[in-house]
Amino acid sequence: MTVLPAFLDAHVHLTLIDPATLLSGGIGRVLDLGGLPAASAIDLPEAAYAHQFLTAPGGYPTQQSWTPPGSVCPVATRADAAAAVDRQADAGASVVKVTLNSVAGPVLADDVLVAILTRARERRLPVVVHAEGAGQAERAFTAGADMFAHTPFSERLDDGLIVAMAGRMTWISTLDIHGWGARNDDFARACDNLRRFHAAGGRVLYGTDLGNGPLPVGLNRREIEGLLHAGLSPDAVITSLIGTAGLAWTQDRVTVIPGARPTDPAGFVDWLCTARAVAATDVKEDA
């Protein structure tokens, strides 16, 4: 048996799923990247929240059918930025989620983006950006974003930019949303970017965008296979699962994986996917 820190899915939307099987599926912590906080319950993973999506008026995901009512905070001008960040911070947010999706509507201007990041720093909140569309990932990085909610997939980022990003950014993987097993061009571009980001020393967090399409509620085997495909070693995959995203987690939960860890990659994935999240005290009682 192997006991590890509680696994984190660093990109979920709790309001879009039934989270009841997350713990038995190996996920002990979740970072909710947009939506309204769910009622907390003892048998759910520990959750940290972004609360509302900060976006340009009419910007993504204002017009999406899945967007929970009240979960978007439009930011029109630089002068609106501080209040928008404060609203999330005062509601208990652990991160600020910003969307820059030029494929699905208008995006924030550079000065508004910088004003959001400035206020988030003052409130000591990391900023997680959904960057989509040509040039949006570079804009987010230049403005000072801390994390990407998705491995960039709209375009191949050049090596110099990737190395610069690896110096100070964390990327949340979300590879499997690109086809849910039917790997498409976005999957290939994301893996190409992630392979170079990881090789350059960039920090990678396992994250699935749970709530976006047909994803399993628990560890996602296809996401793990995607991380291996993008050049992460089995040890690096585990590192991506036990990261804290720089947040303070308080519940005393651990991940338990029965049996010995296989040395071959296929066996490793099978073994990892039998993980369960349990209270640390339960493990001690078993021992």
| Binding residues vs Zn ion (CB under 5 A) | 209
Q: Say if CB 57 and CB 109 are below 8 A apart.
A: no
- Nearest-10 crossing angle of helices 110-122, 78-90: 40
Minimal distance in Å, beta carbon 193 to Zn ion?
18
71: nearest Cα among 89, 59, 54: 54
CA 183 to chain CA centroid, Å, is: 20
Among residues 52 and 255, whose Cβ is nearest to Zn ion?
52
Q: With respect to Zn ion, which residue has the nearer C-beta, 10 or 257?
A: 10
Residue type, 158: D
Q: How far apart are CA 165 and CA 247, in angstroms?
A: 20
In terms of CB distance, is 66 or 77 closer to Zn ion?
A: 66
Smallest distance, Zn ion to C-beta of residue 60, A? 10
Which residue's Cβ lies closest to Zn ion? 209
Minimum CB distance to Zn ion, residue 128 (Å): 10
Please answer whether residues 149 and 11 qualify as being in contact, where contact means their C-beta atoms are separated by less than 8 angstroms. Answer: yes
Query: Do the strands 8-12 and 46-49 form a parallel or antiparallel pair, or are they unpaired?
Result: unpaired
Q: Can you state the angle between helices 221-229 and 234-242, rounded to 10 degrees?
A: 130
Which residue, 176 or 209, is less far from Zn ion as judged by CB? 209
Shortest Cβ 212–Zn ion spacing (Å): 6
**Smallest distance, Zn ion to C-beta of residue 207, A:** 9
Provide the 10 A C-beta neighbour count for residue 263.
8
> How near is the Cβ of 66 to Zn ion at its closest, in Å?
10
User: Distance between CA 193 and CA 177 in Å, rounded?
Assistant: 16
DSSP per residue, 57-96: TT-TTTT-TTPPTT-EEE--SHHHHHHHHHHHHHTT-SSE
Q: In angstroms, what is the minimal distance from the CB of 23 to Zn ion?
A: 21
Cβ nearer to Zn ion, comparing 208 with 240:
208
**Which residue number, 209 or 223, has a Cβ lying nearer to Zn ion?**
209
Q: How far apart are CA 218 and CA 126, in angstroms?
A: 25
Residue 11 or 198 with smaller CB distance to Zn ion: 11
